[in-house]
Amino acid sequence: MPGNPFRFSVQGYSATSAADFRDQVRTAESLGYSAFHLADHYLGAGPALTAANHPPQDIAAIPAMAMAAEATSHIKIGCRLICVGYRPAAVLVKEAMTLDFLSDGRLELGLGAGWIESEYHAMDVPYDPPGKRIRRLEETIALLKQGMTGGALDVHGEFVRVSGYQSVPKPVQQPVPLMIGGGNPRILTLAAREADIVSINISNKEGKVGPGSLRSITHERTIEKIEWVKEGAGPRFNQLELEIGLFFAKITDSAGSVLEGYSSILGMTPDEVRQFPHALIGSADYICDELVRRRELYGISYINVPAASMVEFAPIVDRLKGK
C-alpha cells in the first residue's frame, strides 16, 4: 500500500458557463491530473442548503461528466460520490456503463450511500436510516458488477430488484474502476471489500456539515479509518488505492500566518491544522515531503484537489505523479 504511485484528481463544483466548465476540465488534463470529478448534489441557495452547511453544486454530475469526457482526450472523469438513493439502480448502471462506453474507457465511478438529510427532504427523496442506505449501496454495487460484464441483470434485494434483460452497452474497461467512500466502519468495510479505490471521508452521522464533521477527520480518526479498511479488506488490502480530498491546499513560504488563520476558522491549534489530513499548507518542497510522509503513515497515494487550487497545486502534481 505505501508504495502505490501518487495520483491527483480535481474536484469541480461550479461553473459560470459551458465554456468555463470545459476550460476547467481541459486545464486539469493539461496540468497532468489523473481525473476530474464532480459531486452528486443538487441544492441551490435556500433554507435546505443553509441547513446542510454545504457548498452548492451548480451542475448535475452525470451530464457534466459526459461533457467533461467530450471536451478532453485522456483524463478520467468521475464523481465523488454518486448518491445511490437519488436514482434507480438500473438507471444508474445504464448511465455509468454508457459513460464508459462513450468515453472510450475513461470512467472512474464513485459511489456513496448519501448523507445530506436536508437535500433528501428538499427533493422529496426518502431519507432512510444509515443501515438501509448502506444496504441499498451494497445491492447497487452487485447490480453494477453484473452490468460491467454486459451480461444478464439479476438482483433481487430489499431495494434493488432488477431482472429480465441484458446490460448494454458493455463498458470498455473491464472492470470499470470503482471508488467507494465514507467515514464510518460499515461503509469503509464495504469499500474495502468491493472497491478498487477507497475514499477516506468525514463521518456523516449528523446529516450535514457540523461540529462533528471536523472531529471525524483528524489525524487520529484517519488512522482509525485506515484500520477499518485493513480489517475489511483482509488479503486484498495491498490491491487497494486509498484516496483523500483536500479541503485546503496552499503553497506558501509564510505557512505560519496561514496556519494561524485556518486555526481560528477550524477551532484547531496551528499544529493540529498542520497535521490535518485534509489540508496541505507550506512550501512546495514541504508539501512534497509531507505527501510522501503521509503515504508512509496512512497508505494514501491518491489526492483530490479543489478546482480553485488546481493551478497553484500543479507543481506538486508535476513532481510527484507516478512516483
Determine if residue 260 is left, alpha or beta; phi over 0 gives left, psi from -120 to 50 gives alpha, anything else beta: alpha
pLDDT (0 to 100) of residue 256: 92
Calculate the average pLDDT of the chain: 95
pTM: 0.96
Residue 16, phi then psi, degrees to nearest 5: -85, -15
Q: Which domains, from first to last, does the chain contain?
A: 7-320 (3.20.20.30)
CA gap 43, 33 in Å, rounded: 28
**Segment (H or E) for 111:** strand 107-112
Residue 2 has pLDDT above 60, yes or no: no
Quickly list DSSP for 156-204: E-SS-EEEEEE--SPPSSSSPPEEEEESSHHHHHHHHHH-SEEEE----
Bridge partners (DSSP) of residue 112 are: 83
**Segment (H or E) for 99:** helix 89-102
Q: Tell me if 322 sits within 8 A of 6, measured CB to CB.
A: yes
Q: What is the pLDDT of residues 57-87, one digit of tens each?
A: 889 999 999 999 999 999 999 999 999 999 9
Q: What is the pLDDT of residues 183-241, one digit of tens each?
A: 999 999 999 999 999 999 998 888 988 877 888 999 999 999 999 999 999 999 999 99
pLDDT (0 to 100) of residue 267: 85
Q: What is the pLDDT of residues 6-38, one digit of tens each?
A: 999 999 988 999 999 999 999 999 999 999 999
How far is CA 235 from each of CA 1, 2, 4, 92, 309, rounded to the nearest angstrom?
Answer: 12, 15, 16, 30, 36
pLDDT band of residue 1 (cuts 50, 70, 90) is: very low
Among 89, 158, 154, 88, residue whose Cα is nearest residue 129:
158
Tell me the average pLDDT across 248-256: 92
CA gap 295, 323 in Å, rounded: 11
CA 155 to chain centre: 26
